[in-house]
Amino acid sequence: MALTDNTLATANNLGTFSGSINLSDVIGGTDPISYYKFTLSENGDIAGAVDWESESGTPPFLRLVVDFNGNGFVESDDRIRTLSAGADGAFFQSLPLGTYYLEVATGNFLTRDYSIQLSATPKPGNVSPDPGSTFVQAFDMGTLSAQRILREYISRAIDPVDTYKFTLSQKTNIGGLVNGTTENLRLFFASDTNGNGVYDSDETVDSFGARPNATFSITLNPGTLFLAGCSPSWFYIYLCNSLRVKPQSSSRF
Ligand SMILES: [Ca+2]
Ligand SMILES: [Ca+2]
Ligand SMILES: [Ca+2]
Ligand SMILES: [Ca+2]
């Protein structure tokens, strides 16, 4: 138990995380919160389990936090997922490379031992830099004339859209396979018809709802085109925010 780890800036620093680690400490009483900080140098999956020593009173939470605006404070949107709410359990989360925090918190005046097992499995991408969400920020593949394999990450909470730009020199049929995703995503083929660098509503050529291992096929006219991979929930508004339900999808297509 330590009061020195109660902010992001003073979090217990696990460093660049790979392999496995076991975190054990005490929470509650005069110390209601603790943070752990870790960095993933590659896209990857984290998996683990938490064991709360059983006690009565307010249940503790284990949450995954991203300081999106880098201000050192945890706003509500920074808590991207509750990994455990009061009950022992296993968890799994795909993440892009970056810095993350684990938040252990309780309102309980009783102290409680806990242990967290955490492991990381790298799933490196092969596109750099990470494609942006707009046409202007698209990753440029140049003239598409041979097979390309694109491995990257998208999820609603962290990185909802990856956009790729490519050029066709002749009318071309393009076939594709979506592989390795943990959830469905949607692919949009689009053309910046009015040349303003923005994806306008009438610029979709076609779209595909892509389940894992889904194939698609599309015939495209010559020119400059865009392929946007979007997380499945990009267009949805969740009504259960109080439960902090935020489905994730890791997508490598
Ligand atoms: Ca603490
Ligand atoms: Ca913040
Ligand atoms: Ca991405
Ligand atoms: Ca446009």
Q: Where are the domains of the chain?
A: 12-123, 139-230
Strand order across the 185-190 sheet: 139-143, 161-168, 223-230, 185-190, 204-210
CA 27 to centroid of ligand 1, rounded, Å: 7
Confidence of residue 240 (pLDDT cuts 50, 70, 90): very low
Q: Are 207 and 189 in contact (CB under 8 A)?
A: yes
Ligand number with the minimum distance to the CA of 198: 4
Ligand number with the minimum distance to the CA of 25: 1
Choice between 228 and 214, residue whose per-residue pLDDT is larger: 228
- Residue 83 makes CB contacts below 8 A (sequence gap 6+) with 48, 50, 62, 63, 64, 89, 91, 93, 102
CA 168 to centroid of ligand 1, rounded, Å: 56
Ligand number with the minimum distance to the CA of 79: 2
Q: Do domains 12-123 and 139-230 have the same CATH topology?
A: yes
pLDDT in tens, 222-238: 999 999 988 865 443 22
Mean pLDDT for all residues in the chain: 85
- Closest to 168 measured CA to CA, from 139, 146, 136, 201: 146
CA 117 to centroid of ligand 1, rounded, Å: 18
CA 84 to centroid of ligand 3, rounded, Å: 26
Ligand number with the minimum distance to the CA of 95: 3
Please give the model's pTM, rounded to 2 decimal places. Answer: 0.83
Question: 223 forms bridges with which residues in the sheet?
Answer: 168
Tokens representing 113? Answer: 């031992």
For tokens 């902010």, name the residue: 7
The one-letter code for the residue type at 241 is N
Q: Are 170 and 222 in contact (CB under 8 A)?
A: yes
Domain formed by 12-123, architecture: Sandwich (2.60)
pLDDT in tens, 63-75: 999 999 999 999 9
Taking the C-alpha atoms of residue 226 and residue 163, their distance in angstroms, rounded to an integer, is 7
CA 164 to centroid of ligand 3, rounded, Å: 11
Using CB atoms within 10 A of its CB, is residue 179 exposed (0-12), middle (13-18) or buried (19+)?
A: middle
Ligand number with the minimum distance to the CA of 29: 1
CA 253 to centroid of ligand 4, rounded, Å: 25
- Closest to 134 measured CA to CA, from 184, 197, 179, 212: 197
C-alpha torsion sign, points 66, 69, 70, 73:
negative
> In this predicted structure, what is the pLDDT of residue 245?
19
Find the mean pLDDT for residues 126-143.
93
Ligand number with the minimum distance to the CA of 200: 4
DSSP tag of 77: G
Q: Are 147 and 213 in contact (CB under 8 A)?
A: no
Q: Going by DSSP bridges, is the β-strand pair 185-190/223-230 parallel, antiparallel, or unpaired?
A: antiparallel
CATH of 139-230, one of 1.10.150, 2.40.300, 3.30.450, 2.60.120: 2.60.120
CA 53 to centroid of ligand 4, rounded, Å: 56
Ligand number with the minimum distance to the CA of 69: 2
Q: Are 33 and 6 in contact (CB under 8 A)?
A: yes
Backbone dihedral angles phi then psi of residue 147, each to the nearest 5 degrees: -65, 135
